[in-house]
Amino acid sequence: MSWPVAELDAVRRLGVLAAALPGAFFAETVVDAPFEDVWAVAADLEGELPRLLRNVRSVRVVGEGEHVVADITGYFRLRDRFDVVLRPGWCVMQGRRVVGGMAAVPEGSGTRFAFLGGLRGPGTRAAAPLLRRVGRPVGRGLLERLRERASPVS
């Protein structure tokens, strides 16, 4: 017997990933801008990620295609190399200590966009409630900055 499987869009898949990762936080919004404009901002890791995430100082992407490496330098002694899967509407970045992701899907005349952030390593499961609580404002801030960068100026 086969069970019907509902296909999850990219934003829902990112939500499932966030739910499976201890201590990960997930933030979602609808941006009043076309998918292409929103994803152009999100996918520009070198130019836009430091603007979207305040704790990131610089990003250097090495390689081409949908599997690349990103060397990310941040404030608070963050320096890590991330394996990145980047394709239209989907980005997952995994480093030694941090995991992050972004997803977007068209929704009406706008775009539904989500962000995932989380820590990896010992103690993450025990600290999960605190990490989620601390991460929520980070996610809300990123979504607001993305909305400002991707939305047309009125």
Q: Which two tokens stand for residue 72?
A: 């990310």
| Cα→Cα distances 27→8, 11, 22, 67, 86, Å | 17, 10, 15, 24, 19
Positive or negative, the Cα torsion across 109, 17, 54, 82? negative
Fold entry, domain 28-148 = Alpha-D-Glucose-1,6-Bisphosphate; Chain A, domain 4 (3.30.530)
Supply the pLDDT for residue 92: 98
Supply the pLDDT for residue 15: 94
Supply the pLDDT for residue 24: 86
Supply the pLDDT for residue 137: 79
Q: Return the domain boundaries, the chain.
A: 28-148
Kindly give the parts of the chain with pLDDT less than 50: none
121 CB contacts (<8 Å, ≥6 apart)? 96, 97
Supply the pLDDT for residue 99: 92
Supply the pLDDT for residue 49: 96
Supply the pLDDT for residue 110: 96
Supply the pLDDT for residue 78: 78
